[in-house]
Amino acid sequence: MNTIVDILASAGLWAAVLRIATPLILGTLGALLSERSGVLNLGIEGIMTFGAMVGWLAVFNGADLWTGLLVAALGGAVFGALHAVLTVTLGLSQHVSGLGVTLFASSFAYYVFRLMVPVSGSPPTIEPFQPIDIPGLSDLPFIGPAFFTQTAPTYLAIALAILLAYILAKTPLGLAVRMAGENPHAAEAQGVNPMVMRYGAVIVGSALMGVGGAFLTLSAFNSFFPTMVQGRGWICIALVVFASWRPERALFGALLFAFFDGFQLRLQTALDGAVPYQIFLMIPYILSIAALAVMARRARVPQALMQPYRRGER
């Protein structure tokens, strides 16, 4: 009992929660935006891997960190465009197309990485994003070190969640995206082009996924290695359902999820091998499945999700 209280009372845990949540927030926002327009993007795991690799590679070759994030966003956008061609223009099965994008993006990332970076004993590293102290706030006891000494991409991810929530709920653009995902035929009748909305949402969403992946190599760690995304993309897909397709809830869901993850890491250390470590590693996946089972029926699925839109064809 004491250990649990000790863990909860350490600022380190809460700082880690925000850190662990960042790629999940970005990935979930990306998947959410895409699904809101009617396109499921299972390419996320591969797109995050590609973003992680290409962002890191840019910085390794002398670009600054922000350029690295931009490159990762562009890399994600390219694969998003591929997914959009397959699912929006051709109207192929979104499930299978997404899996194809994932397989292609991740194996392509490994291939390019191996070509550009020769094999060596220890993986080459870069100088990652450093924590930024928010003046005034970071000096607060406990709260300061826990929440206000994060790296820049973490603040960016939270800001983007709020921005996306605003855009989707309050702007004409957000309405047009939502109409494309709810009823593209009605959208067309209203003068909104659902194809354009879907292309835009998938591409911008994939760019966010790419940045989410790049957070891993440019901020959380300082090198790239295969399988480093480790299923985070799939968890983002589950988090979208948990969040009922709403960005503000996605932020909350990602933080909650990261809390459990950060907590189990510390509990695992505290228990020191009394419980097989694999049990702890299973928790995030089991939690995701449980969250899906609880939320799936209550969630408001975009009505045209996974339905290809073809003009004049119903």
Partner 1 sequence: MRFERREHRPTALVIATPLIAVAAALGIAGILIALAGAPVLEAYWKILVGAFGSKLSITETLTRATPLILTGLAAAVAFRARLWNIGGEGQFYLGAIATAAVGAHLTAGLPGFVQMPILMASGAVAGMILLLLPLWLRLRFSVDEVVTTLLLNFVAILFVSMLIDTVLKDPMAFGWPQSEAVERAARLPKLVDRSRLHIGLLVAVAFAFIVHFIQSRTTFGMRSRAAGLNPKGAVFAGVPLGRTLVLVAMLSGGLAGLAGSIEVLGVKGYVTTDLSPGYGYSGIVVAMLANLHPIGVVLAALFTAVMFVGADGMSRSLGIPTYIADVTVALSLISMLVAVFFTQYRVRR
Residues of this chain that interact with partner 1 (CB under 8 A) are: 42, 82, 86, 90, 92-93, 95-97, 99-101, 103-104, 106-108, 110-111, 114-115, 231, 234-235, 237-238, 241, 276, 278-279, 281-282, 285-286, 288-289, 292-293, 296-297, 310-311
Q: How far apart are CA 127 and CA 99, in angstroms?
A: 33
Residues 6 or more apart from 129 whose CB is under 8 A from it? 65, 151, 152, 153, 218, 219
Nearer to partner 1, 154 or 288 (CB): 288
Nearer to partner 1, 126 or 291 (CB): 291
Q: Is 150 helix (H, G, I), strand (E, B) or coil?
A: coil
Measured from the CB of residue 301, what is the shortest distance to partner 1 in angstroms? 9
Measured from the CB of residue 312, what is the shortest distance to partner 1 in angstroms? 9
Measured from the CB of residue 86, what is the shortest distance to partner 1 in angstroms? 6
Residues 6 or more apart from 24 whose CB is under 8 A from it? 212, 232, 235, 236, 239, 254, 257, 258
Nearer to partner 1, 2 or 120 (CB): 120
Q: Which of 89, 85, 39 is nearest to 209 (CA)?
A: 39
Nearer to partner 1, 2 or 278 (CB): 278
Measured from the CB of residue 297, what is the shortest distance to partner 1 in angstroms? 6
Nearer to partner 1, 13 or 117 (CB): 117
DSSP for 183-219? -HHHHHHTT--HHHHHHHHHHHHHHHHHHHHHHIIII
Measured from the CB of residue 266, what is the shortest distance to partner 1 in angstroms? 19
Nearer to partner 1, 150 or 232 (CB): 232
Measured from the CB of residue 100, what is the shortest distance to partner 1 in angstroms? 4
At 197, list the tokens: 């909305």
Measured from the CB of residue 121, what is the shortest distance to partner 1 in angstroms? 18
Q: How far apart are CA 43 and CA 50, in angstroms?
A: 11
Nearer to partner 1, 11 or 283 (CB): 283
Q: Which of 34, 101, 100, 87 is nearest to 309 (CA)?
A: 87
Per DSSP, helices labelled H in 135-276 are: 143-147, 152-170, 172-182, 184-189, 194-215, 232-242, 247-271
